[in-house]
Homo-oligomer: A and B are copies of this chain.
Amino acid sequence: MNLSELPLTAFIDPQGKNHQEIEQLASQVLDLILSHLTTAINHSPLPEIGDFTDFVSIPENSISESILLEKLNTIITRSTNAANPGYMGHMDSMPTTISILAELVAAALNNNMLSVEMSPILSRLEFNLIKQFAQLFGWGETSGGVMASGGTLANLQALTVARNRAFNSHTLGIWNQTQQPVLLASEVAHTSLQKAAMLLGLGTSAVIPVKTNINSQIEIEDLKRQI
């Protein structure tokens, strides 16, 4: 890569030499987003995507800012428009304003939650916030946790800990059992349980479905029978 061919705005200069150009680019991107979302009622929740077979090709050199913004606008206007009031909110709702802006901040800081050295304030924030969440659930002073990027990873993490505790499998594995380890779950539980069972080496068949009533509540009699 020839560094002299990088656009002036490729990185934010730590001495502010390209402050104005960065600000202009950022404002233009923000404008594209806000123009779209503040008129979301006029766009279909599911727009026509049209043909874009050749929409992306990795170029040898950087493209101009105007072409970049044009392509970005195509992406914005042809994405699922969750901001339209006719959109039902499944699976993903319109995010709050502050969560959108928080993503911007998190991306700009690029701190790594691996350790407090890499994210001195954000790691402590996580610890502190989860403690409070846990207490809101009534789990007491010594409770805690970590943020996961979603329910699937959270279920995987919980079931991993449970498997390792029950079978001492962290170092030694689960490959030498005489019976299939299983877990019981509501028949309407999320498929992330089967995915986790597959990953953990139990197999998707290890999730034993428990019957539910018309309100999707577990039928205790069936649970007792299955145990």
A92 to B106, CA, bound (A): 13
- Complex CA–CA separation, A106 to B173 (angstroms): 38
Counting chain B CB atoms within 10 Å of each CB, the highest count among A39, A117, A171 belongs to A171
Is A101 engaged at the interface, CB distance under 8 Å to the other chain?
yes
Stretch at the interface among A50-58, A137-145, A208-216, A218-226: A50-58
Size of the A side of the interface (Cβ < 8 Å), in residues, is 107
Minimum Cβ distance to chain B for residue A47 (Å): 7
Measured between alpha carbons, how far is A200 from B199 in the docked complex, in Å? 5
**Closest B-chain residue to A129, C-beta based?**
B56
Docked pose: A56 CA to B128 CA in angstroms? 7
Q: Mark A136-155, 1 if CB is under 8 A from B, else 0.
A: 10000000000001000000
**Residues B128 and A110 in contact, CB atoms below 8 Å apart:** no
- In whole angstroms, what is the CA distance A139 to B90 when docked? 37
Known: A12-B83, A180-B176. A49 touches B121 (CB 8 A): yes
Rounded to whole angstroms, the CA-CA distance of A93 and B118 in the bound complex is: 11
A111-B92, A205-B171 known; A14+B26 contact, CB < 8 A: no
State the Cβ distance, A32 to closest chain B Cβ, in Å.
8
Give the chain B neighbours of A179 by CB distance below 8 A: 175
B-chain residues with CB within 8 Å of residue A88 when the two chains form the complex? none
* B181 and A175 form a contact (CB under 8 A): yes
Report chain B residues within 8 Å CB of A96. 10-11
In addition to A14-B37, A52-B124, A174-B174, 18 A-B residue pairs with Cβ atoms within 8 Å of each other are: A11-B94, A12-B34, A12-B83, A14-B39, A16-B39, A19-B34, A22-B38, A37-B108, A58-B129, A58-B133, A74-B121, A82-B111, A95-B110, A100-B104, A156-B199, A160-B199, A163-B201, A176-B177
- Of the A-B pairs whose beta carbons lie under 8 Å apart in the complex, a sample of 14, sorted by A's number, is A10-B97, A13-B38, A15-B41, A25-B101, A30-B104, A33-B105, A49-B121, A52-B121, A55-B125, A95-B108, A100-B108, A164-B198, A171-B205, A200-B201
